[in-house]
Structure 1
Amino acid sequence: MTAVNIPAGSAELGGELVLPPAAAGVVLFAHGSGSSRFSPRNTFVAKVLQRRGIGTLLFDLLTSTEDQDYARRFDIDLLTQRLLAATDWLQTNPETRALKIGYFGASTGAAAALQASAERKAVVAAVVSRGGRPNLAGEPALGQVAAPTLLIVGGADYGVIELNEQAFAMMNCKKQLSLVPGATHLFEEPGTLEQAAQLAADWFARYLCNQKEGGA
């Protein structure tokens, strides 16, 4: 693991980059409101991806000062710009500039991931949303997403399921909506986060690394 600092305008965002040997792709994690690069759920998913040979970049979308402002946590445009800054950093970093890029977004971070992928059609190869609010990306951005996109929702996350279905209908890319049975919004039920992580790993392996499901 390598600690990194990502410039984003006047801000500097701390992050952690992990690149398994011979990685063909790297996934940027866009965490949800009130979370950070230390999110235990995102860290868990990142380790599953790393075991599949996929690189990961977990980073803070907001500085510690910015995160004190509750409204900023829901400023999707700002979160999108931060994700784009991290994408630019990956494309100039010698270790990662040749790798395919994917986004993994949770909660509000999913909306930022979709907005950013709509802006960088030629760069982003795959997107996964876990318990996300893709509807917050807005209909114009959702209609412009080109990257293959997987929306993972808890089967008991009532209300959010419907919001994901609405966003799904607005998307024109290769797409899939997967419900994890019995899971609520944070996937805290036994085995549900593991299921979500496996779905994400299979999606990224397919579109970043050209692996089949369950491949090594």
Structure 2
Amino acid sequence: MNEAINFPGDTPIAIPSGHASLQGLLTLPARLSALVVLTHAGENPEARDDALAVVLQHAGIGTLTLDLLTHAEERFADIHHNVPLLAKRLLDALALIKQGMLLSELPTLPIGLCAAGDCSPVALRVAALRDHDIFAVVCRGGLIDLAGMLYLRSLAAPLLVLVSEEDERVTASNRRALRELACRQELKLLPAASPDSATALGFVARETVHWFFQHLPKLV
């Protein structure tokens, strides 16, 4: 991690992964007790991630908002569903974060993952692979079974799944997938409202912050 980290403050981060360079924004508040990586694939959920990141920061949690796709890739639908590729990219980002902590470029902090839509199974798979580094996971929407049965069954980090109460198909699929998990888990239904409404954003923010406060260590 060659960037000079602004603490407190915002630091744009470029993360090399294969032939791609991923763009992220690292924000560390002055009162800091944990780090949550918010992942998305493409621009659509970016505004919602930004709003959630602000709430987490006010709660004393640093955030890395990370796009797992390059701008050139966003127009190709198939890559949005490529769980192995996106998981590899998120693993590369986590490796860079851990390296920064080991080199004292970043504070040593417990890490959580937060993902939405197509990135939900990606975050679950990565948390299962990095079970010593990831302490809690929150997924909004998406089909978590796409992570793969092996990863569902080996996940150790507590998992919160948020699904719109209007999306019966996704809710039913995720309930079936959760039966395969041995870790602490919970599924909550989002109120029937636009994903960008104040009601929906407030519910997501409240439940997400509460989950991380419950399960990330060393929070005060």
TM-score (norm 1): 0.89
Q: Give the CA RMSD over aligned residues.
A: 1.8
Partners of 1:192 and 1:64 in 2: CA distance: 27
Residue 137 of structure 2 is aligned to residue 127 of structure 1: yes
Matching residue's letter, 2:62: G
Percent of paired sites with the same residue: 35
| Counterpart secondary structure, 1:62 | coil
The equivalent of 1:54 in structure 2 is 61
The equivalent of 2:20 in structure 1 is 11
| Counterpart secondary structure, 1:159 | helix
Partners of 1:153 and 1:99 in 2: CA distance: 29
Q: How does 1:30-45 map to 2 (within 5 A)?
A: 30-32=39-41, 34-35=42-43, 39-45=46-52
Matching residue's letter, 1:23: L
Matching residue's letter, 1:135: D
Q: How does 1:1-216 map to 2 (within 5 A)?
A: 1-32=10-41, 34-35=42-43, 39-93=46-100, 94-96=104-106, 98-183=108-193, 187-211=195-219
The CA deviation at 1:95 is: 4.1
Partners of 1:97 and 1:76 in 2: CA distance: 30
Partners of 1:24 and 1:190 in 2: CA distance: 27
Matching residue's letter, 1:164: N
| Counterpart secondary structure, 2:74 | helix
Partners of 2:62 and 2:136 in 1: CA distance: 14
Structure 1: give runs of 5+ residues left out of the alignment: none
| Counterpart secondary structure, 1:65 | helix
Partners of 2:183 and 2:191 in 1: CA distance: 25
How many residue pairs get aligned? The number is 208
Q: Deviations over 1:162-181 (max 9, x none)?
A: 12111211111011111123
TM-score (norm 2): 0.88
Structure 2: give runs of 5+ residues left out of the alignment: 1-9
Partners of 1:97 and 1:144 in 2: CA distance: 28
Native 8 Å contact 2:152 2:177 kept in 1: yes
